[in-house]
Structure 1
Amino acid sequence: QFFKYESVSLSCEVQGNSAGWRLKRNTFSGGSSDCGGNWGKPQGSSCTVSLIPSDSGVYWCESGSGEHSNAVNITVHDGAVILESPALPVTEGDYVTLRCRYQGTPSDHTAHFYKDGSLIRTETTGEMTIPAVSKSDEGLYKWDLPPPSHPTHPPLLPPPTPPLPPPPSLPPPSPPLSSSLCLSLGWWLPSPSL
């Protein structure tokens, strides 16, 4: 997951020889195409993309003979906040980390985590971990970034002479920024042995 205007470099690296491999993508807006056509800047076996939301899609490497790599999903967010999670659904017992990202701030910031509307944790690292996820952890998770603090009153100064117009009032506090996701568990039964 990436923010709008982040730059990413994707490489096609093959053991032995990367020559002849090219980066391709399939997006909702543009179908399948190669790097350098109408998107990305090719540099050898790499492609650099300054991302916008329409760049969201599936990316993979392909050889001239039709061989291809595993695909990766890239999602570009137009907003300023992202709640990162593992691929969903998760399996019971999995170690899960939910990570808050807010564009333009360091990765270690205070975040309030909510589950189904109730505050469950405040973390100063911007991350929340669930060591062994269980059915009781299912739900809608949300985080918010506390708004910046403003002084409640302007500093007290002696009255000026001659009188000046009253000072402007302080701006209202900024609303918190937030993002959410629904965490669900996948249940798979082992195949019967033959």
Structure 2
Amino acid sequence: MERTCRLLLLLSTLVYCRLGQGGASLSVIPDRSQFFEYESVSLSCEVQGNSTGWRVMRNAERGNLSECSTDWGKQRGSSCNVSLTPSDSGVYWCESGSGEHSNAVNITVHVGAVILESPALPVTEGDSVTLRCRYQVTPSDLTAVFYKDGSFIRAESSGEMTIPAVSKSDEGLYKCSSSKGESPESWMTVTGPTPIPSPAVPVLSMSLPRLLCSLLVGSPTCW
């Protein structure tokens, strides 16, 4: 009985210690998914706990899988700064030495005259989001036409379109066009609001992994 109980505690500790490490999230500065050639972007691995061993990875459109500082980007700690060229278009994410992954972000480097400034990271339902048609050379007429999933939304003389409170139905592929040309399409992800923890749930003064570890180390038997 004692052996069985200690084995259960050991398994529980391994599971919860693993979960307690937390994952990583990739941040993009500036937060947009489209860039002109030679613009710069900073990609950072934001990790709960120790960020050592996390690196920024990329799968370029050509199918080349590599990490920052191999033949692209400059690694600084858990961040990577990239001066963009068309070959840098692709999917980016954070990865640990043990193979854990963060969220993935798609970045497009456009050689045309127009890009769409839309969030690279997911937006939360209820938030206000502004999409901008951006030009390499600012035209006299800023009017831009916006599309979602290939369908016309509306034209805006300011060159930008605001969604006051996004909902899940706003998720999709967006692009813009103007007299200067058309932007590539970018996917905007909409997530639900972060749940608020119930105040009725008691809070332990010790984390569960530490509690289990202390039980393993300090308890000769199980109760």
Tell me, yes or no, whether TM beats 0.5: yes
Instruction: Decide which of 142, 145, 155 is 1:113's aligned counterpart.
Output: 145
Q: Distance in 2 between matches of 1:25 and 1:128?
A: 31
When the two structures are aligned, how many residues end up with a matched partner? 141
Query: In the alignment, is the contact (CA less than 8 A) between 2:55 and 2:68 conserved in 1?
Result: yes
Structure with the larger helix share:
2
What is the CA distance between 1:111 and its match in structure 2?
1.7
Q: Residue in 2 aligned with 1:92?
A: none
After the TM superposition, which residues 72-83 of structure 1 pair with which residues of structure 2 at under 5 Å, given as runs?
72-83=105-116
Matched, 1:179 2:182: yes
Q: Distance in 2 between matches of 1:11 and 1:142?
A: 28
Q: Residue in 1 aligned with 2:48?
A: 15
Q: Residue in 2 aligned with 1:52?
A: 85
Change in CA separation of 1:114 and 1:62 when aligned onto 2, cut-off 3 Å: closer
Q: Deviations over 1:127-185 (max 9, x none)?
A: 1246689x9xxxx97531xxxxxxxxxxxxxxxxxxxxxxxxxxxxxxx30215789xx
What is the CA distance between 1:44 and its match in structure 2?
1.3
Percent sequence identity is: 64
- Structure having greater relative contact order (Cα 8 Å, sep ≥ 6): 2
Residue ranges of structure 2 left out of the alignment (5+ in a row): 1-33, 121-127, 187-223
When normalised by structure 2's length, the TM-score is: 0.51
Change in CA separation of 1:72 and 1:141 when aligned onto 2, cut-off 3 Å: closer
After the TM superposition, which residues 1-194 of structure 1 pair with which residues of structure 2 at under 5 Å, given as runs?
1-29=34-62, 31-84=64-117, 98-105=131-138, 110-113=142-145, 121-124=155-158, 126-129=159-162, 142-144=176-178, 176-179=179-182
Residue ranges of structure 1 left out of the alignment (5+ in a row): 88-94, 145-175, 184-194
CA RMSD, 1 decimal: 3.9
